[in-house]
Amino acid sequence: MPYHRNVLSLPPRLIEAEPLDGHQVHLRFEDGLAADVDLSYLLDFGGVFEPLKDPEFFRKLFIEGPTIAWPNEADIAPETLYDKVQLAVHEKRRGLSD
C-alpha cells in the first residue's frame, strides 16, 4: 500500500520527539504513526542548520508547536516530518513483506 497524506490538511499533532544516535530522531504523532527518521539531510542546507552538525547541539531538539525546533530557532515544516515518518513506516513494511 503506498503512503500518502492529504496535502490540503495539516498533519496530526507531534507528541514525541526523541534524539537517537547520529542525526536520527524517533517521532510519534497523535494518530499513532511513529518511526525513527534520519535528519542528516538538514546538514547540507547550512545557514540556520549549520549548528546541527554538532551532535550535542542536535540533541537539544524539542517540540515547539506542531514541529521540532532547536535553540537557535531552526525548525522543520511539520508536513515534512510527517511525510518522513510515513515513508519510513512504508519502507519498513515493504521490507518485511519482501
Give residue limits of the domains in the chain: 7-65
- pLDDT for 10: 83
How confident is the model over 8-57, as pLDDT tens digits?
A: 678 999 999 999 999 999 999 999 999 999 999 999 999 999 999 999 99
Q: Hey, what's the cell of 94?
A: 515493504
pLDDT at position 6 over 60: no
CATH number attached to the domain at 7-65: 3.30.2020.10
Contact 60, 73 (CB under 8 A): no
Element (DSSP H or E) covering residue 90 = helix 78-97
Q: How far is Cα 84 from Cα 44, in angstroms, rounded to an integer?
A: 17
Higher-confidence residue of 53 and 97: namely 53
